A = this chain, B = another copy of it.
Amino acid sequence: METFEQMLATPPSWLDASGPISNVVLSTRVRLARNLEGVPFPMRAGSSDLERVRDRALAAASAGNYLANALVLIVDEKAQSRRQILVERHLTGREFLGAGPGRAVIIGDGELVSAVINEEDHLRLACIKSGLMPMDAWRLVERLDTELEQNLHYAYSSDWGYLTSCPTNVGTGMRVSVLMHLVGLVRSNRIAQVLGSISKLGLSVRGFYGEKSAALGGFFQVSNQMTLGQSEDDIAYTVERVAGQLVSLELEARSELTKKGGHRIEDEVHRAYGILTSARIISSDEMMALCSSLRFGITEGFIDSVNLATANGLLVSTQPGHLKHFDGRDPGPDRRDRIRADLIRRELASGSRA
């Protein structure tokens, strides 16, 4: 089991670009919402209930295989900076930014599987894999779920399926999210039309780190809206299929852009690289835009001195919580932009990460 510090020393494994279609899909996340029978949902439960939930969940995790030797983080009032980092690494949702009783996170090797305790639900199990992997990620989190269920009694209705704190999760409790880099569709002004048709297929789309990451960098999260009335396999398959169609459109857009504006694009992506490796002040917005250009340059074969994993890693390691951690204190906005630039230069100089 590694420590929190060791975990932070490298980007999450789901950013390592080892998975299929990594040129367009950064990662696939599948999470299951689960609650314990006979205990109120976290919003309505008292501290002692929540602490009991936590202890039972931790016990179940250690009794199994997938999280037996995992990193356990107790996320109490003192853990404020940790909480921000957990959100930035997609290990917990944004509601975890505030403190709450009985909260904990269990994180497996490479952040591949994890369990969040007492967030919106008693238990959120997740698997994040590199590339486009809805079925594989679902299979893995399913095995974790089955394993934990041997020691936990889930709230389940034969009519509704798994019961959850928010009605939108009832049924399978499953959310499949695919993190995509749709830079070609954004640049060719086709993104609005494409995303419009996605929502008609029952999928939702958000920016990776809020709206700006979408507008500036073309980083989108595509996920299912429905959790009820479909099997988990169907949900995973639907997301995989739709994401696959997006991939085709994206690759088509990129190839057209490169064909039409080869020299201009080659120039632009190299400039992005030049600024990333040279600038001393880089805002979060600019980083997102430059990182997008850098990824584009790598996938289109213009840039070979940086690999995709390094470019992906920057998206997480340059977030405010991470920078605060590296700096050992809250740097404030001005210094933060300088630390971000320093970190980017270091990461790009250390070059090719596995």
A329 CB, nearest partner CB in chain B, Å = 18
Give the number of copies in the complex. Answer: 2
A264 touches B281 (CB 8 A): yes
A311 CB, nearest partner CB in chain B, Å = 15
The docked-state distance in angstroms from the alpha carbon of A341 to that of B270 is 11
The docked-state distance in angstroms from the alpha carbon of A186 to that of B120 is 58
The docked-state distance in angstroms from the alpha carbon of A271 to that of B275 is 5
A271 touches B278 (CB 8 A): yes
A333 CB, nearest partner CB in chain B, Å = 13
**A200 an interface residue at 8 Å Cβ cutoff?**
no
Number of interface residues of A (CB under 8 A): 18
Contact partners of A266 in chain B: CB under 8 A:
280
The docked-state distance in angstroms from the alpha carbon of A341 to that of B276 is 18
Checking B267, B280, B338, B341 against A281 with a beta-carbon cut-off of 8 angstroms, the contacting residue is B267
Contact partners of A338 in chain B: CB under 8 A:
263
**A273 an interface residue at 8 Å Cβ cutoff?**
yes
**A277 an interface residue at 8 Å Cβ cutoff?**
yes
- Digitize A257-283: 1 where CB-to-B-CB distance is under 8 Å, 0 elsewhere: 000000110110011011111111100
Contact partners of A341 in chain B: CB under 8 A:
267
The docked-state distance in angstroms from the alpha carbon of A128 to that of B270 is 37
The docked-state distance in angstroms from the alpha carbon of A267 to that of B264 is 24
A339 CB, nearest partner CB in chain B, Å = 12
Q: Please, which residue of chain B has its CB at the minimum distance from the CB of A341?
A: B267
The docked-state distance in angstroms from the alpha carbon of A273 to that of B279 is 9
8 tightest A-B contacts by CB?
A274-B278, A274-B274, A267-B280, A267-B281, A270-B278, A266-B280, A271-B279, A274-B275
15 pairs, A vs B, C-beta closer than 8 Å: A263-B280, A263-B281, A263-B338, A264-B281, A267-B280, A267-B341, A270-B278, A271-B275, A271-B279, A273-B278, A274-B275, A274-B276, A274-B277, A274-B278, A277-B278
